């Protein structure tokens, strides 16, 4: 079929797209009618209409966060659908999607992990605190002299990083 625009004649091409039936493996847990996920050999696979779109190791938290954010940002599923299917908080999924939009992909994989890092007390400071505690300085005085909070010192005493051998 030809179409005339001005003095030119164009051939119209009709492209028909084939519908893809959503066929999922039997172990797939559906997020919605077109997206699902399943676990196999310590990997989690995410499927769209039965075709794999993402995969990550079961214990790879950063990839999990990125993939769930990507599913929401690309509008393959809603945060509430994803949260219900995965059994996690809806707010966490929303937070991951917002972070992907604002900070990009690199934030998930290239950032420094800061959780669980006692940045206030270095190993040298712990040794110095131990010397002072052994010389009968009070926890309050040691904290003031080292420039850290009393709570930080008490945390390390409780964990056993600093030994307090005397009590008043």
Q: Mind listing the pLDDT tens digit for each residue in 77-122?
A: 999 999 999 999 999 999 999 999 999 999 998 887 666 555 567 8
Residues 33, 106 within the same domain: yes
* Residues 6+ away with beta carbon under 8 Å from 45: 37, 38, 39, 52, 54, 55
* pLDDT value at residue 59: 93
Residues 91, 160 within the same domain: no
Q: For the chain, what's the residue count?
A: 168
Residues 131, 92 within the same domain: no
- Separation of alpha carbons 116 and 156, rounded Å: 13
DSSP state of 77: S
pTM for this entry? 0.59
Number of domains in the chain: 2
* Residues 6+ away with beta carbon under 8 Å from 142: 129, 132, 133, 153
Residue 66 lies in a domain: yes
Q: What is the pLDDT of residues 31-81, one digit of tens each?
A: 998 899 999 999 999 999 888 999 999 999 999 999 999 999 999 999 999
Q: Give the residue numbers spanning the domain of 153.
A: 114-168
Phi, psi of 101 (to 5 degrees): -65, -45
Residue 10 lies in a domain: no
Residues 46, 78 within the same domain: yes
* pLDDT value at residue 49: 87
- Separation of alpha carbons 119 and 128, rounded Å: 16
* pLDDT value at residue 14: 55
Strand 51-57 with 43-48, pairing: antiparallel
* pLDDT value at residue 116: 59
Residues 106, 33 within the same domain: yes
């Amino acid at each position: 079929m030809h179409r005339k625009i001005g003095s030119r004649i164009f051939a119209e091409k009709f492209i028909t797209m084939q519908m893809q039936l959503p066929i999922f493996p039997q172990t797939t847990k559906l997020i919605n009618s077109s997206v699902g996920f399943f676990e196999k050999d310590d990997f989690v696979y995410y499927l769209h209409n039965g075709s794999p779109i993402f995969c990550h190791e079961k214990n790879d938290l950063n990839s999990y966060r990125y993939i769930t954010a990507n599913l929401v940002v690309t509008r393959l599923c809603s945060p509430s659908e994803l949260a219900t299917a995965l059994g996690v908080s809806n707010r966490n999924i929303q937070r991951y999607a917002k972070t992907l939009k604002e900070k990009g992909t690199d934030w998930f994989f290239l950032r420094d992990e800061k959780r669980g890092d006692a940045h206030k007390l270095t190993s040298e400071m712990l040794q110095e605190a131990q010397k002072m505690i052994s010389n009968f300085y009070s926890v309050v005085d040691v904290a003031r002299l080292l420039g850290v909070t009393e709570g930080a010192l008490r945390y390390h005493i409780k964990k056993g990083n600093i030994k307090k051998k005397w009590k008043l």
